[in-house]
Amino acid sequence: STVLEAGLRMLLARDRLARLRHAVLLAQSLARMQRCRKDFAADRDQVLRLQRWWRSLTKRRRWRNLQHYVGLIQRVARGASGRRQSKEQLARVHRRKLALRALLRIRRKNLAHRAWRAAMMEKYRGVKPAAPPRERVVREIIELKQVNDLQEMEAQA
């Protein structure tokens, strides 16, 4: 019976030892887990802080550059608009010049036709051009006579 009791005590002691070992392992595991969890939480907080800083920095840069880029886009758009308006203005001036030339050409043709028509009508009607006034004819004859007298005096001298 002592052997049985000793065996039973040994069995109970082994069982207690196994439970104790299990409890110690659990306590060690919890302690290690707490340390790892604390380290993980600290690392995560640092990572989140770094991410927050980086996102804030990129947002500030984006906002700062946004105004610059908007200015660039507006400058390019206004330049293109100005060039387009300038081309349109040149085209309008060119079209006006062409229209003016065409109108002048038409006017010259009309004047030439009117002159031709007036000449044809004069020929048709037999109207002769009016004689110059008598005073003018007399004056021209006197002037020609004076020129002739001068030339004759130069020829004799």
d(C-alpha 8, C-alpha 14), whole Å? 10
C-alpha distances in Å from residue 17, one per residue of 29, 30, 100? 18, 19, 119
Tell how far CA 105 is from the center of its chain: 41
pTM (2 decimals)? 0.40
Question: Tens digits of per-residue pLDDT, 93-123?
Answer: 999 999 999 999 999 999 999 999 998 988 8
Question: Tens digits of per-residue pLDDT, 7-32?
Answer: 999 999 999 999 999 999 999 999 99
d(C-alpha 32, C-alpha 38), whole Å? 10
Query: 10 Å Cβ neighbour count for 49?
Result: 10
Question: Tens digits of per-residue pLDDT, 120-153?
Answer: 988 888 767 678 899 999 999 999 999 999 999 9
